[in-house]
């Protein structure tokens, strides 16, 4: 079982002068969910090399069992520091793809023709695809085979407007995941802020927030099995 994980290379939080990137738990929890299941995990990002870590996700209050495990895992740290360039990976080499969130993907992966084409290749091949928190936003320009938005009419979740308001970034992000999905005609679903929630619609898996990372990864594994 070969799993591709795609991380952001974007590290600027709009015009705030602050840093962003990927959210540590959203990488670590799925990474270990996959590797513990015996999967070979390959990491990629638009620029290759070390993806930027959202510094906030490294603060003590956001640590979990998975992030502590990563902090003590030199092999996983090496893998993260040496991600492949996204343009060099092919959907046919993998059984599934998973996108961790953090705010970074809203800027680079959501607009990346390479990422869009990769997701469409997985989808056309009937392979499961997974996204958590802000990463579902990378689907905004992804099309189904009929040319319609991939998420149109489909059940999805992702970081909520109220969660974005809680972290005071509503006016900083390039778009709001919840609003974007509704505008695209998706059947957007959510539960209470910060509660674990993952939605499966066919081969598409989306998770609402960091707490949903493991659930989304497990749902992907179920689809592969």
Of 87, 196, 212, 208, residue with least CA distance to 136: 208
State pLDDT tens for residues 150-165.
999 999 999 999 999 9
State pLDDT tens for residues 83-135.
999 999 999 999 999 999 999 999 999 999 999 999 999 999 999 999 999 99
pLDDT at position 225: 87
Provide the 10 A C-beta neighbour count for residue 120: 18
Of 88, 179, 90, residue with least CA distance to 134: 179
**Residue 201 backbone phi and psi in degrees, to 5:** -130, 100
The predicted model gives 194-211 an average pLDDT of: 98
Q: Report which DSSP code applies to 109.
A: G
What does the mean pLDDT of the chain come to?
97
Q: What is the percentage of the chain residues whose pLDDT exceeds 70?
A: 100
Give me the numbers of helices (H) and strands (E) for the chain, helices first please.
7, 9
pLDDT at position 111: 98
- pTM confidence score: 0.97
The predicted model gives 12-37 an average pLDDT of: 97
Alpha carbon dihedral 22, 26, 28, 33, in 10-degree steps, equals -150
Whether 207 contacts 200, CB under 8 Å: no
Question: What are the structural domain ranges in the chain?
Answer: 2-224
Q: CATH classification of 2-224, choosing from 3.40.50.880, 3.40.190.80, 3.40.50.1240, 2.40.50.100?
A: 3.40.50.880
Whether 109 contacts 8, CB under 8 Å: yes
């Amino acid at each position: 079982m070969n799993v591709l994980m795609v991380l952001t290379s974007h590290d600027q939080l709009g015009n705030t002068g602050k840093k962003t990137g990927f959210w540590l738990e959203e990488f670590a929890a799925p990474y270990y969910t996959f590797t513990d299941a015996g999967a070979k995990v390959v990491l990629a990002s638009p620029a290759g090399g070390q993806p930027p870590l959202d510094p906030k996700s490294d603060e003590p209050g956001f640590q979990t069992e998975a992030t502590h495990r990563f902090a003590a895992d030199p092999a996983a740290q090496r893998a993260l520091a040496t991600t492949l360039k996204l343009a060099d990976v092919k959907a046919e080499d993998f059984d599934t793809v998973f996108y961790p969130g953090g705010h970074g993907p809203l800027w680079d992966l959501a607009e990346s023709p390479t990422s869009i084409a990769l997701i469409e290749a997985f989808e056309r091949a009937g392979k499961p695809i997974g996204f958590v928190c802000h990463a579902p936003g990378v689907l905004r320009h992804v099309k189904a085979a009929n040319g319609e938005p991939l998420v149109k009419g489909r059940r999805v979740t992702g970081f909520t407007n109220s969660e974005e308001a809680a972290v005071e970034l509503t006016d900083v992000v390039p778009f709001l995941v919840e609003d974007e999905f509704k505008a695209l005609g998706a059947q957007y679903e959510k539960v209470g802020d910060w509660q674990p929630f993952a939605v499966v619609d066919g081969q598409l898996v989306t998770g609402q927030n960091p707490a949903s990372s493991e659930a989304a990864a497990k749902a992907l594994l179920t689809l592969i099995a």
